[in-house]
Amino acid sequence: MATVSSSFVNVFKFLLLPPLLWLSRSSSFFLRFRKSFLGKQIRRVEASRNMLKRVHSRCFCSVTAKPWLFVGLGNPGEKYKGTRHNVGFQMIDAFAESQQILINRIHCKAIFGQGFVGDTPVLLAKPQTYMNLSGESVGPLAAYYKLPLSRVVVIHDDMTLPCGVLRIQPKGGHGSHNGLKSVILHFRGNREFNRLRIGIGRPPGQMDPKAFLLQMFNATAQEKHYQRGLLLG
């Protein structure tokens, strides 16, 4: 796995940690967030958020800095809501709620919103193309805002990680994840974009992985989250 750069770790701490905290307090998927998880960073982030609440009313169009694009992968529709394969969508929803960002319009085939985390402009997107065609949304979004791939973060489920474990990765392959395959294809083979991988565990026994991905989280999986908390792998 590629070495995680210090700049991307800072992005994780100051942009992704607030929604992770919110998600852990309000979501049925992440039932509890251990107080020991990046304790010092959490306190710093929350202090920064308290000081910078005023930025929510700022006009996005006046910002000159390049925004960060956060894309959660998943499938649209009530049928897939709350399934393992849709944890990327759930993270974007938590991100938006924690930062009071409205994601209520369609842009480049995605449900889309824009706002701020502290002084940093962010774009939030949930592609509505279905998982296997995610790149049809992500590619045009990055192109529309003329973003280098280093400013793109794709959030997705990962069966190779234990349930509830997170791993940040600044680049890499698709790991047989069809959503990532599509994103890489529409980035013309370029893999130099950031990922936040959310562990969902492996299917039990001989269960079909596709069926496992489309299941809701059961009580056992929820209990594992309660016991383990969220871990940064």
The 68-72 sheet, strands edge to edge: 103-107, 110-117, 120-127, 68-72, 152-158, 194-199, 165-169, 231-232
Q: How far apart are CA 174 and CA 181, in angstroms?
A: 5
**Catalytic: 85?**
yes
Torsion angles phi and psi, residue 193, rounded to 5: -120, 155
Q: How far apart are CA 22 and CA 208, in angstroms?
A: 32
Torsion angles phi and psi, residue 114, rounded to 5: -145, 150
Q: How many other C-beta atoms lie within 10 A of the C-beta of residue 57?
A: 8
Q: Could you report how far apart the first and last alpha carbons of the chain are, in Å?
A: 12
Query: Which residue among the candidates 56, 85, 156, 186 is catalytic per the annotation?
Result: 85
Residues labelled as active-site residues: 85
